[in-house]
Amino acid sequence: MIFIKLFSFIIMIINKLKIDESHGLLHSMEVLNNAHEIYESELKKNPDIIKYENIIYISAAIHDMCDKKYIKEEDIIKEIEVFLEQEISKEDCEIIIKIITTMSYSTVKKNGFPILYDKQIAYHIVREADLLASLNFDRCISYKMLKLDSNIYEAFNDANNLFNERMFRHSIDNLYITDYSKNKDLILQNIAHTRINNWKKILKI
């Protein structure tokens, strides 16, 4: 039943903050599904992580509701905490807040990974689920157009540069620790390269 209230809350925040589709409901669902697949892969090797399933799924679904691109983190975290503490334990709520406020690419590059002890694997599953979702090239273009008001050519060029500077370097920069994500990254990179080439033909670049 948590998912009924969780997604209603997510939709409410999306509408309240005017979060565009690049970080909206579909992205939340994609990251949640990625987290599920990574979790199931890791569960085979480490059955004990079943006790973190709830933390993983909630964190994955709600992770962008405090994205700095749409609101100051401190201005929304309390609202997220109030919602979560009605549904789960205070301890789990604290871990979820820690995960979603430390998992972004920029935060990791600046501060490294937080130390969450036995919850570390939950953190990495959610973080990697979001990294895999970032390899969606069209999502990157849509953010540039919807949030930054770029035209399609500007958005393509910015997205292409970003992919070459960041997204295609996830493995090189050692941002994955799970075997699932390392393997999936190669597949998604190939899909992204195909999509980039398609856009070049469409836009005649």
pLDDT band at 26 (very low <50, low <70, confident <90, very high): very high
Which tens digit of pLDDT belongs to each residue from 34-65?
999 999 999 999 999 999 999 999 999 999 99
Q: How remote is the C-alpha of 201 from its chain's centroid? A: 29
CA distances for 139 relative to 3, 57, 82, 88, 160, angstroms: 24, 22, 30, 32, 12
Q: Rounded to whole angstroms, how far apart are CA atoms 9 and 12?
A: 5
Q: Where are the domains of the chain?
A: 1-133, 134-205
What is the biggest distance separating any 2 CA atoms in the chain, rounded to whole angstroms?
54
DSSP state of 134: T
Q: Rounded to whole angstroms, how far apart are CA atoms 117 and 121?
A: 9
pLDDT band at 95 (very low <50, low <70, confident <90, very high): very high
The rounded mean pLDDT for the chain is: 96
CATH fold for the domain made of 1-133? Hypothetical protein af1432 (1.10.3210)
Looking at residue 180, what is its pLDDT? 98
